[in-house]
Amino acid sequence: MPELRKDPITNRWVIIATERAKRPMDFGKAPEEAKGAFCPFDYGNEYTTPPEILAFRPKDSQPNLPGWWIRVVPNKFPALEPNLKMQRYGHGMYDAMTGFGYHEIVIETPDHNATIATCEGKQIEEMIWAYKARYKALAKDPGIKYILIFKNHKRDAGASLAHSHSQIIATPIVPKRVQEELTGAQTYFQYKERCVFCDIIYQERMESVRIVEETDQFISINPYASRFPFETWILPKNHSHHFGEIGEVQVQEFATVLKKSLLRIYKSLDNPPYNFLLHTAPTTGEAKQSFHWHLEIVPRLTKVAGFEWGSGFYINPTPPEDAAKYLKGVEI
């Protein structure tokens, strides 16, 4: 029997379509990516990217040459430009502003064929340290209100290059999707004087049917009102409103949970396309008590069609309880 479920953060409803229930093997395999093409992110091709902003490399190696194991560069085709003066203006009844902001690429590994799921844990830790370094640096710009770290894995998820990389976009406004979470979390806090994310963690640990991975510091779950099949969230178990606070032990455990969660998705769904998005509080310091940073992993297994676009509902053919059971059953 189908069931409607309400997301406790945004109050968005989803339809868990049990009549259409799908197991991992019921989803088609994503087409193979083209191989052999020139890749600007490979060793020896550093000259083809904009000059690096940050690189983890031996002290005796030269910038913009081989030797690195993590590299951050400006996007060659940026969505926003840091050199523009931020200016708001009207266009009749419409509002607009100059396209000020930052758009950076984090090249996660020198290995062209590696993925986060198959990388060594230490490499993922280094990637997270790079995320934090750039987050802290970009947050110093007073014109920046929000920093989104995200990843598109494979072409069907929006990746234009196969080499494993993620992106950072810093904007002068808080994105609508994030604002919905901030508003919902604040409303919940005003009513209950508790963080909604902390309550979700407590509930999930009590029921233990949607947990995928857990360590002392982090938990990975398939949310109760999952929008998509095998949607997976990773949250710090201790309250923390923004990602920039992450410390050494947390980096290690976050890397472990991220790798294991993605490896379970990789193995059970045959390396599907996916996006991940790191939602954190705005750089302005608000929502310290009500918000809780987290990373959302969304395998791209279904298409958003007319009903979803027209209604705002999502139809999920895989109950999150089943998804968690399948993922936990994978040997890693």
Query: Which residues are part of the catalytic machinery?
Result: 165
| CA neighbor of 220 nearest in space, from 271, 258, 275, 166 | 258
Torsion of CA 318, 319, 320, 321, to 10 degrees: -130
β-pairing, 314-316 vs 88-91, is unpaired
Inter-CA distances, 263 with 160, 175, 220, 222, 316, Å: 22, 29, 13, 15, 22
Tokens at 324, concatenated: 């968690």
DSSP 38: -
Tokens at 65, concatenated: 């040459």
Residue with tokens 């509080």: 281
Residue type, 204: E
Inter-CA distances, 25 with 28, 29, 248, Å: 7, 9, 38
Is residue 228 a contact partner of residue 298, using CB atoms and an 8 Å limit?
yes
β-pairing, 94-97 vs 102-107, is unpaired
β-pairing, 165-171 vs 102-107, is antiparallel
Inter-CA distances, 299 with 45, 115, 259, 280, 303, Å: 30, 15, 15, 21, 11
Distance between CA atoms of residues 291 and 195, nearest Å: 7
**End-to-end Cα separation, the chain, in angstroms:** 33
